[in-house]
Amino acid sequence: MFDFLVVGAGFAGAVVAERMARCYGKKVLVIDRRDHVGGNAYDHCNKEGILVHRYGPHIFHTNADQVFQYLSQFTSWRPYEHRVLASVDGKLVPVPINRDTVNRLYNLSLTSDNEVEAFFASRAEARPSVRTSEDVVVSKVGRDLYEKLFRNYTRKQWGKDPSELDALVTARIPVRTNSDDRYFTDRHQAMPKHGYTRLFENMLDHDNIRVALGCDFRYLAANVHYRSLVYTGPVDEFFDFRFGELPYRSLRFQHETLETEYLQPVAVINYPNEHGYTRITEFKHLTGQIHKRTSIVYEFPSSEGDPYYPVPTPENAALYKRYADLAAATKNVHFVGRLATYKYYNMDQVVAQALTLCKHLAAAPDFALSAEPTTAAITAGAGLRAVSAAAG
């Protein structure tokens, strides 16, 4: 008998498992249908020995001291400030839009915040209310910069026009009047020194935690005894798509290793317009690894494939609300994470959400009850391809 069955070994699942085991002595079984821990943050050394992120670039950044301190128990960090360039009109320009973006694209030499502010003001289109992702950009910088940098990128990435998407999508990207070319301005910006997978292994390395990989909840649930379920997979799938499928956007990743030390000047170059892919990431910039070759990944957005992004539109929000109500009424099952709560969350937000769930769980009246020892609990032939302490 386990106290908790945790479905998904990404950030949401790993945090809950770690807190429940380490702080409260609970017995936890973590399962994942993939053959590795880490969820979408998983990284590994490829056959050339270069550390790459299988599911696209993951850069850790947060303003939440509590989240950074929490994760710092499981990793040391490599300070890293992310920089992105976009390939537009045959030039490489900084993203987010800043003073240099404007100067390079329009052959100007604006030198002060005021001048850049005035440039944006002369182009911006007033919008009575800022509801959509188009409104966000056009109301700040005008239509031309929107067309050059945002419209096509967003159509590719989401399969929808920015005018159909909630404002929160493009509002993730600020607009600057200075020359700050960092992608993020958060207080904490760093990469786990030995990679994300090692961080997860450290989190899950506890006597009270068992990890079963290659193991789908649908086939396992009936064979494991547990008191409570923590579910981090897609919420619509949990309820057998009762109200219809929630749209998730997917990506196809094309990984390559090149016979050159570096391909590009920064970790990520965005291709808003002419290409089928949205961006190329060169991992050595993120990890600081020294190697005579370099590994890159192209991202091709797709409606087919693993669910990566909830798609923020008013219709999807309404559909999700129906699932959220059902989830809230489902006893002993706790939904947490990006797929289970259908939220376009970064890693730090998922960690914060999972830590909050743990506090709630611990405050429940019957929480002190503990399960039997776990050793005999995993029945042979229950669908477990691998049962191991993740640190293995």
Residues forming the site for ligand UDP (CB under 6 A): 86, 95, 149-150, 153-154, 157, 169-170, 172-173, 270, 272
Contact between 12 and ligand FAD (CB under 6 A)? Answer: yes
Buried b (16+ CB within 10 A) or exposed e, 272-290: bbeeebbbbbbbbbbbebe
Residue nearest to ligand FAD (CB): 39
Task: Provide DSSP, 159-170.
Answer: SS-GGGSBTTTG
When asked if residue 197 is in the footprint of ligand FAD (CB under 6 A), the reply is no
d(CA 233, CA 246): 12
Write down the residue that tokens 């923590």 correspond to.
Answer: 230
User: Is 233 near ligand FAD (CB under 6 A)?
Assistant: yes
Q: How far is the CB of 254 from ligand UDP (least distance, A)?
A: 16
Whole-number minimum distance, CB 194 to ligand UDP, in Å? 23
Task: Pull the structure tokens for residue 119.
Answer: 């440039």
> Scanning residues 341 to 380, which ones bind ligand FAD (CB under 6 A)?
345-348, 350
Interface stretch with ligand FAD, choices 10-18, 19-27, 115-123, 254-262 (CB under 6 A): 10-18
In the bound state with ligand UDP, the residue whose beta carbon lies nearer, of 76 and 163, is 163
How far apart are alpha carbons 350 and 372 in whole angstroms?
30
How far is C-alpha 115 from the geometric centre of its chain's CA atoms?
36
383 binds, among ligand FAD, ligand UDP, none (CB under 5 to 8 A by kind): none
Site membership for ligand FAD, residue 301 (CB under 6 A)? no
**Residue closer to ligand FAD, measured from CB, 29 or 116:** 29
Size, binding site for ligand FAD by CB under 6 A: 34
> How far apart (Å, rounded) are the C-alpha atoms in residues 278 and 325?
35
Q: Which region, judged by CB under 6 A, interacts with ligand FAD, from 52-60, 100-108, 120-128, 145-153? A: 52-60
Pair 324, 242: CB distance under 8 Å: no
Residue 170, CA distances (Å) to 95, 115, 164, 174, 379 in order = 12, 24, 12, 8, 48
φ, ψ of residue 241 to 5 degrees: the values are 55, 35
Kindly state whether residue 40 participates in binding ligand FAD, applying the rule CB under 6 A: yes
How many CB atoms are closer than 10 A to CB 372? Answer: 12
Is residue 165 part of the contact set for ligand FAD (CB under 6 A)? Answer: no
- Least Å distance, CB 332 to ligand UDP, is 32
Q: Which does 10 bind (CB under 5 to 8 A by kind): ligand FAD, ligand UDP, none?
A: ligand FAD
Q: Which residue has the tokens 């939440």?
A: 64
Structure-block tokens of residue 303: 């409606």
> Side chain identity at 121, as an amino acid letter?
A
> Residue 287 binds which entry of ligand FAD, ligand UDP, none, with Cβ cut-offs from 5 to 8 Å by kind?
none
Dig out the tokens for 73 from the structure: 């128990």
Instruction: Give me 34's structure tokens.
Output: 């993939």
Residue 8's binding partner out of ligand FAD, ligand UDP, none, with CB under 5 to 8 Å set by partner kind: ligand FAD
Binding site for ligand FAD (CB under 6 A): 7-13, 31-34, 39-41, 55-59, 216-218, 232-233, 251, 308, 337-339, 345-348, 350
